[in-house]
Amino acid sequence: MNELPVIAIFGATATGKTAVATEVARMLRTRGLESEAVSADAYAVYREIPIITGAPTREEQNVLKHHCVGIRSVTDEFSVGEFKSHSHASIDQVRAAGKVAIVVGGTGLYLRAALSDLALRPAVDPQLRAELESHLELEGAEVLHAELTHSEPEVAARLSVSDPRRILRALELSRSGLPPHKSVTALWDQPARHPTVALGLVREREERRRLITERIERMIDLGAAAEVTTAWKIGPSRTAAAAIGMRELRTGDVKSMRNRTQQFAKRQGTWLRRLEDTEIVTLSGADLTAPVERILHLFDSHAA
C-alpha cells in the first residue's frame, strides 16, 4: 500500500502554485520518487478556455502531468460533487501507481473536496436557481446580499457583494431550508482521506497585484479575447460562464477582469491564512527555495 503522504499546495491567483509544484516534483524525482498533480481549480476543467483559467500548458504538463484539467466542454454544467469523484479517482490512481499525488489549486471548496470525503449539500431545485439568476441579472448582487443578510446574517457578513456566485449558492441553500456553512473552517470538518501535508503560498499585496496585472496582460497577448468569443459562440453553461474573464472579455472590459481577479485573490489569501494544519509561506520574487524546502521537510516528516 502507498503510504506516501499527499502533498497539497494552495495559493491565490498568480502566487506561483504550478511553479512550486513542478519544482517539488523535480526534487522528488532526484530521490527516485515520481509524482503527478491533481488540479483543484473550479474552471480549469473546461477544455476550451485554458488561457483565462490559467490551466497548465502542454509544456508544463510534459514536466508534471495534471489530472482534472480540460475534462469538460464549456457547454457542460460541472459541480463540486462531480469534481470530488474525479479528483478522488485521480489521487487514488496516482497513489496506486506508487507515485506522489500533488494537489494544486486555489479554490477552497474544490481543494477540500479533493482531499476529503466532504459532506456536500444536495443539489437545489433548478427552478429556484433560475429564479435567483434572474434576480441577479435584474437587481444586482446588492439586493441578493441584503436578503441573505436578513436570513443568514453570519454567512452574509463573510461574503462580499463582489462575489455573486457564493451569494447565490448561500441563498439557494437558505431558501431550500438547508443551512449554509457557518464558517470557513466548516470546509475542514472532514479528515483527509490520505495522510496529507499542506502548504499555503501567499505574496505581499503590492507584489500580488503586480503579478496579477502581468498575468492578465499575458492572457490578452496569448489570445484570451478570441478564446472567450469562441466559448460564447459554443454556448457556455452557467458554471463555465462564471469563470473570471468570460463576461468581462466578451465586452472587452479588461479593467473589470483585472479588478475582479484582484478581489478574488484577496479573498483567497484571507481564506488561506485561516486554515489550520496548513503551513503558510510568503513568496517574494522568483525564488522558490523556501516553499519547496518547507514542503519537502513536511513530506519527509510524515513519510518517515
Q: Is residue 290 part of a domain?
A: yes
Q: Is residue 48 part of a domain?
A: yes
What is the CATH number for 197? 3.40.50.300
pLDDT of residue 194: 94
Write the pLDDT tens digit of every residue in 132-143: 888 888 888 898
Backbone angles phi, psi at 7, to 5 degrees: -100, 130
Tell me, yes or no, whether 136 and 207 share the same domain. no
Its pTM stands at 0.83
Write the pLDDT tens digit of every residue in 4-45: 999 999 999 999 999 999 999 999 999 999 999 999 999 999
Q: Is residue 239 part of a domain?
A: no
Write the pLDDT tens digit of every residue in 129-181: 778 888 888 888 898 899 889 888 888 888 888 788 788 888 888 887 776 65
What the block records as the C-alpha cell of 300 is 519527509
Write the pLDDT tens digit of every residue in 230-269: 999 999 998 899 999 999 999 999 999 999 999 999 888 8
Tell me, yes or no, whether 20 and 102 share the same domain. yes
Tell me, yes or no, whether 143 and 45 share the same domain. no
- Domain range spanning residue 95? 6-119+190-231+256-303
Q: Which of 50-59, 182-191, 281-290, 295-304 has the lowest mean pLDDT?
A: 182-191
Structural domains in the chain (count): 2
Write the pLDDT tens digit of every residue in 103-125: 999 888 888 899 998 777 666 67
Tell me, yes or no, whether 110 and 151 share the same domain. no
What is the CATH number for 132? 1.10.20.140
Q: Is residue 285 part of a domain?
A: yes
